Amino acid sequence: MGREYAVRPIAAVGAVVVRNDGRILLTRRANPPLQGLWSIPGGVLELGETIAECARREVLEESGVECTPTDVYHAVDSIHHDSEGRVRYHYLIVDVLARWTSGEARAGTDASDVGWFTLDELAELARTPQVHHVASELLLRASPPVAGSG
């Protein structure tokens, strides 16, 4: 099944990878849809692959970074119409939180650039609003508990 003008939504995974210093991994998309925009790394789920396996594979392929997925956050529809109103792309994307484990960020497949960004920087770069929302909420969830709380 092709991705463009598919007969049904395509399952995909996005990974909000957080480094120990709280910075978040972004890749600049090299291909449509959203070509040229900054986004969290991710891609299409392969047959027989788990969400966590897909997240690890896509992050490694796009950025050279190894990560450990820790939590599924939510799912979002990414639907793009053509000028005639037909659905050109429809992805069902499961976003996960992941922790950086190793590797230096470098642009790989499907990415023209890659980098680590603070939440403030991410808000300016990521044109899709859910990226900042998901990253900020997941960053809060990933933060270690404050001593003496709870």
3-state secondary structure of 106: coil
Residue pair 67/100 in contact by the 8 Å Cβ criterion: yes
In-domain check, residue 81? yes
pLDDT for 17 beyond 70: yes
Task: Please count the structural domains in the chain.
Answer: 1
In-domain check, residue 1? no
In-domain check, residue 14? yes
Percent of the chain's residues with pLDDT above 90: 56
pLDDT for 146 beyond 50: no
Pick from 45, 49, 25: nearest CA to 97: 25
E-assigned strands of the chain?
10-18, 24-29, 38-39, 42-44, 66-81, 87-102, 111-117
Percent of the chain's residues with pLDDT above 70: 83
Per residue in 97-144, pLDDT tens? 999 999 999 999 888 999 999 887 877 776 555 565 666 665 666 555
pLDDT for 6 beyond 80: yes
58-62, 123-127, 144-148, range with the lowest pLDDT: 144-148
Q: How many CB atoms lie within 10 A of CB 22?
A: 12
Q: When comparing pLDDT for 20 and 150, which is higher? A: 20
In-domain check, residue 115? yes
In-domain check, residue 147? no
In-domain check, residue 68? yes
Domain span holding position 95: 10-142
In-domain check, residue 5? no
**CATH number, domain with residue 100:** 3.90.79.10
pLDDT value at residue 13: 96
10-14, 22-26, 29-33, 79-83, range with the lowest pLDDT: 29-33
In-domain check, residue 19? yes
CA angle centred on 141, ends 136 and 144, rounded to 5°: 120
- CA dihedral in degrees (15, 18, 24, 30; nearest 10)? -30
Residue 132 has φ and ψ, to the nearest 5°, of -65, -40
